[in-house]
Amino acid sequence: MCGIVGYAGFREAYDVLLEGLKALEYRGCDSAGIAMINKEQGCLEVAKVAGMASLLEQRTRGKLSRSNLGLGHSRWATHGRPSDKNAHPHVSCCHTIALIHNGIIENYRVLRAALEKEGHRFLSQTDTEVLVHLVEKYYRGDLLEAVREATDRVEGSYAIAVVCSNEPQRIICARKDSPLIIGLGQGENFVASDFAALLPYTRRTYILEDGEFVSLSPESVEVFDRGGNKIVKEIYEVEWDIAAAEKGGYPHFMLKEIMEQPQAVRDTLRRRIDLEAGRVLLPELDLTAEEARRISKIYIIACGTSSHAGYVGKYALERLASLPVEVDPASEFRYRDPLLDQNHLAIVISQSGETADTLEALRLCKEKGIRVLAITNAIGSSAAREADRTLLTFAGPEIAVASTKAYLTQLILLYLLALYLGQLRGTVTREQGAELVRGLNGLPDQLVKILTPECLTELKEIAVALAHWDSIFYIGRNLDYATALEGSLKLKEVSYIHAEAYPAGELKHGPLALITGGMPVVALATQEKVLEKTLSNIQEIRAREGAVFLVASEEFVGIERQADWVFHIPRVHQLLTPVPAILPLQLIAYYTGLARECPVDKPRNLAKSVTVE
């Protein structure tokens, strides 16, 4: 969602801020702005546009004064449409204080009315603007103090960075329920909402916790708690480098990330399987056999793609750990009345570890005394810090808005978890366990077989054929239905084609009415026990002149005659087929998006990290 970058040091702040904003755009951006302290005159200079950082640069490069300290913000609209006025930074009436904010101020209406009564003039429709007027109200010569008092008055979530021309050498930052990171340099320091903006300069960081305040200058970074007491922070050294967050020769991040999947799976499996013993090792869980046997039910809670991984997890956990599993979108879970008891386990899945609904669901489970396990790609994220236990996917940075490699590594962890719980609970035999461990270990090599130039060309041709349709069905049974859900979401996001996933057996209960001449249906057939049933459903579609694009396991011989086009995925263990099966669907979405000239890495209206409800 919105992105924050701030700089205090010896470089031209303008360059650092613009580069930072560009690096953060992948999170979703509809307007951008900067505020800098003019070096000579010590006054504030602010520039904002409705549009991306490149437009801001076009309008401002060479036109602003020199500065070594400033803030930059990329906005993803929640309150008030994208416009120059609604873009951050917001500025106080006396034009001395500028503030940028990620999050939502829930009580902004009440605060705004009160501040207007006191004479503050508001220029935007945003919730954020109340913050800068509150800081102005409480400013008595100490910006840190004013920020502390202002944040005491607000309800909601925030990561903020504030500058004041009366204190031209420092930036004040604070966070609650929205990520904020400090980058540590020599004679320069940084603040950002995401590592991507810091990596060209430093890998040494502080990850801020809720309720922490920072005073940052070129020479120092001081962290305080809400009571004003100094906190000694641990330095977190980022392991991945800037190359991992660049395209590396690929035309788009999405394609790069699809191609990285064999390696991402290898990295996620590393040290977690013992091939010789045929066992899974998850010491991070710190779980005894007795504790595992006491679990009576699992809730998997997540949003979007991560919840689709959850559906695959449900099948694996039910089959291997013999446990009942419910999967809920986090936005639904938090507003229903789940019947939780102490022997239940909640698993929250989140690539970013910062999705607002998922975090609220996590907190709800903890409040009710349920143990929470987080599966996330973001070390140090809120989900990782707040859950009782964390399993990290090692997908590396995922920059394209549409998730690919993070999804695949979530599947891997869910398989590992199901098998591990099965081992502890005695619900998988030694032979079954060993077969699956071998199967998991072999997955990267099988994925490589799908990522060949020949396969890519074939999938591109299909994409071109699909690109002129307005609506496409995805169908499958059992695990294939879970894959269909994810495949259809990918197509929607990156090609803007309406795509809907259905359990294949449900077609005749309604959707079949829509099948007419040539209407495309993407079908999946990887599950032997429902193969004949799925093939019957395919024939029902073809009898109505629908065109079927089938993704099927290579061991199903003779299946070519059953569809208009068939893409074979390599043979893997029946439970693991969602791993190879999603690759052709990701690639179809990617190439269809390209054929329709869509911005595949940054689809309209979407954000990488959804930190607001």
Q: Name the residue with the smallest CB distance to ligand F6R.
A: 304
Which residue, 131 or 610, has its beta carbon nearer to ligand F6R?
610
User: What minimum distance in Å lies between the beta carbon of 489 and ligand F6R?
Assistant: 6
User: What minimum distance in Å lies between the beta carbon of 601 and ligand F6R?
Assistant: 11
Among candidate residues 367, 369, 363, the one with its CA nearest the CA of residue 348: 363
Which residue, 205 or 377, has its beta carbon nearer to ligand F6R?
377
Does the footprint of ligand F6R cover residue 601 (CB under 6 A)? no
User: What minimum distance in Å lies between the beta carbon of 269 and ligand F6R?
Assistant: 20
Q: Show Cβ contacts of residue 158 under 8 Å, excluding neighbours closer than 6 positions.
A: 101, 102, 103, 105, 131, 151, 174, 175, 176, 177, 178
Residues numbered 375-404 forming contacts with ligand F6R, rule: CB under 6 A: 402-403
Q: What are the phi and psi torsion angles at 18 (to 5°)?
A: -65, -45
Does the footprint of ligand F6R cover residue 351 (CB under 6 A)? yes
Residues numbered 400-459 forming contacts with ligand F6R, rule: CB under 6 A: 402-403
Binding range to ligand F6R, per CB under 6 A, among 98-106, 285-293, 300-308, 471-479? 300-308
Helix (H) or strand (E) holding 488: helix 479-495
Distance CA 347, CA 354 (A): 15
Distance CA 455, CA 569 (A): 10
Which residue, 6 or 179, has its beta carbon nearer to ligand F6R?
179
Distance CA 190, CA 199 (A): 10
User: What minimum distance in Å lies between the beta carbon of 91 and ligand F6R?
Assistant: 32
Does the footprint of ligand F6R cover residue 553 (CB under 6 A)? no
Amino acid at 552: A
Q: Which of 306, 495, 577, 592 binds ligand F6R (CB under 6 A)?
A: 306
Does the footprint of ligand F6R cover residue 313 (CB under 6 A)? no
**Residue carrying structure tokens 């650092």:** 16
Residue 49's Cβ-side half-sphere holds a number of Cα atoms within 13 Å equal to: 12
Does the footprint of ligand F6R cover residue 610 (CB under 6 A)? yes
Distance CA 61, CA 440 (A): 52
Site string for ligand F6R, 77-96 (x = CB under 6 A): --------------------
How many beta carbons lie within 10 A of that of residue 273, not counting itself? 20
First to last CA, the chain: 11
Contact yes or no for 131/155 (Cβ under 8 A) = no
Does the footprint of ligand F6R cover residue 358 (CB under 6 A)? yes
608 classed as catalytic: yes
Contact yes or no for 37/231 (Cβ under 8 A) = no
Which residue, 24 or 538, has its beta carbon nearer to ligand F6R?
24
Does the footprint of ligand F6R cover residue 611 (CB under 6 A)? no
Binding range to ligand F6R, per CB under 6 A, among 43-51, 345-353, 420-428, 514-522? 345-353
Distance CA 190, CA 171 (A): 9
2 classed as catalytic: yes
Which residue, 547 or 610, has its beta carbon nearer to ligand F6R?
610
Helix (H, G, I), strand (E, B) or coil at 279: strand
Q: Indicate which residues carry an active-site annotation.
A: 2, 608
Residues found near ligand F6R in the complex (CB under 6 A): 303-306, 350-352, 355, 358, 402-403, 489, 493, 609-610
